[in-house]
Amino acid sequence: MRNCKLGLLFLLVFVILVYPIKEVRASVPKDFSISAQAAILIEQSSGRVLYAKQEHEKLRIASITKIMTAILAIESGKMDEMVTVSDRAFGTEGSSIYLRVNEKIQLEDLVYGLMLRSGNDAAVAIAEHVGESVEGFVLLMNQKAEELGMNNTMFQNPHGLDDHEDHYSSAYDMALLTQYAMENEQYREISATKTYKVDSEEIRVFKNKNRMLTEFYPYSTGGKTGYTKRAKRTLVSTASKEEMDLIVVTINAPSDWYDHLHLFEWAYEHYQLETLVSKGKLKGVNDPFYKDQLFTKKEVTYPLSSDEKDQLRYEMTLVRGEENKELENVNTSEPIGKLQFSVGEQVIEAVPLFLEPKEKEKKGFWSRWLGLFAYTLGVNRDD
């Protein structure tokens, strides 16, 4: 019987880990339009898609490629190292921070030049230092893309220039990448920087090209611009207002600044970030056995409209034995159940529930010794 119950527990764990969360599409007015060929708007913490247009289409992405280059450089642990600029980096076409051959510059300074000024020469210098070659770095880029589930992405260079036919991504994939990057404190700091001074062999001052950050939107927290003749205008931007963090990606958008402003303001007007469950002990559980014993390991938040709040429902599933005491030996590091949230008929989130270990009575040395002695003598046996 006990093995059967453990099997049920493992099945429940499996269901919790692989359960496909259905996406609840936001209700967008019919007259809502933007200029972009492809676009997406998501909320950072939940990843909920609030708006999408051709979001999975494979397209050229220009310099928003550099978000991947930046996060790989940051995660390399080499940001304090000095980089020697190669002939290849010096000769890179397009936007530049005007590196000189054999110049030595800190990797961190290169990442600022990459993100603020979109330096293609900085991208190559970063790639050669972190990946030991541009080609080696591209392998790292595609490996990270696969890890993040960027299924419609192929990187062929660290800067986004149109030098390969099969360098592409999608609005959805770039939102996934940005969501991941924004979890990194150093990336957030660099992305949000308006002006940066390099004081090394050559003094440089980088002013951020992202006008969403520097001019247009007071709630902007960063992003990355892009443009090539074939990709046209691409833009990733992030914003934070009323404790809700949003990400917008547009590809081939003639009016990208307006598109992003429009999407941000629409989302902040119609949605609020709601805490579905807080981290820690779960309150309101009336079951005698589970009361004050269930807890969650993370806080779960989700953006909801006013109408959706009225439709919000939750359902708790818990492992039950014929006698609750049989659960006392369950591994408390494994989920004992799940708390599932729905809007209408669609599941939006599911969080594992864990059983808080009960403290066992502690016996002193002499108590344990006497117990053993009594058992040895047969005092506690039924004759």
Strands 38-43 and 294-296 turn out to be: unpaired
Percent of the chain with pLDDT over 70: 81
Instruction: Please answer whether residues 234 and 39 qualify as being in contact, where contact means their C-beta atoms are separated by less than 8 angstroms.
Output: no
Tokens 């062929």, located at residue: 156
Contacts of 123 (CB under 8 A, 6+ apart): 66, 69, 92, 114, 157, 158, 159
Residue 364 has pLDDT above 80, yes or no: no
C-alpha pair distances (Å), 32 with each of 12, 37, 263, 289? 42, 14, 9, 51
d(CA 156, CA 114): 17
Residue-wise pLDDT for 335-353, tens only, equals 888 889 999 888 999 989 9
Tokens 């359902």, located at residue: 315
Strands (E), 54-103: 82-84
- Residue 326: predicted pLDDT: 55
* Residue 229 binned pLDDT confidence (cut-offs 50, 70, 90): very high
- Residue 282: predicted pLDDT: 83
Contacts of 220 (CB under 8 A, 6+ apart): 210, 212, 213, 237, 238, 239
Catalytic pick among 86, 118, 169, 305: 118
Catalytic pick among 66, 144, 232, 338: 66
Residue 380 has pLDDT above 70, yes or no: no
Angle between helices 120-131 and 66-75 (to 10 degrees): 40
- Residue 288: predicted pLDDT: 73
Contacts of 132 (CB under 8 A, 6+ apart): none
362 tagged catalytic = no
- Residue 25: predicted pLDDT: 58
Q: Indicate the domain borders of the chain.
A: 2-22+274-355, 38-270
- Residue 294: predicted pLDDT: 87
Region of poorest pLDDT, from 51-65, 256-270, 279-293: 279-293
Catalytic pick among 63, 95, 170, 305: 63
Mean pLDDT of 276-287: 83
User: Is 325 within any annotated ligand binding site?
Assistant: no
- Residue 345: predicted pLDDT: 86
- Residue 92: predicted pLDDT: 96
**Best CATH choice for the domain 2-22+274-355 from the list 3.20.20.70, 2.30.140.30, 3.30.160.340, 2.120.10.30:** 2.30.140.30
* Residue 28 binned pLDDT confidence (cut-offs 50, 70, 90): low
Instruction: Tally Cβ neighbours within 10 Å of residue 102.
Output: 11
382: left (phi over 0), alpha (psi -120 to 50) or beta: beta
Residue 307 has pLDDT above 80, yes or no: yes
* Six token digits for residue 361: 């009575």
Residue-wise pLDDT for 120-158, tens only, equals 999 999 999 999 999 999 999 999 999 999 999 999 999
Q: CA 161, 162, 168, 172: dihedral to nearest 10 degrees?
A: 60
- Residue 359: predicted pLDDT: 54
As a whole number of Å, the end-to-end CA separation of the chain is: 30
Mean pLDDT of 341-366: 74
133 tagged catalytic = no
46 tagged catalytic = no
Residue 201 has pLDDT above 50, yes or no: yes
The helix/strand/coil state of 280 is: strand
Mean pLDDT of 52-72: 98
* Six token digits for residue 259: 């598109």
Domain spanning 38-270 has what CATH number? Answer: 3.40.710.10
Residue 370 has pLDDT above 70, yes or no: no
Contacts of 227 (CB under 8 A, 6+ apart): 62, 63, 233, 234
* Six token digits for residue 201: 């062999």
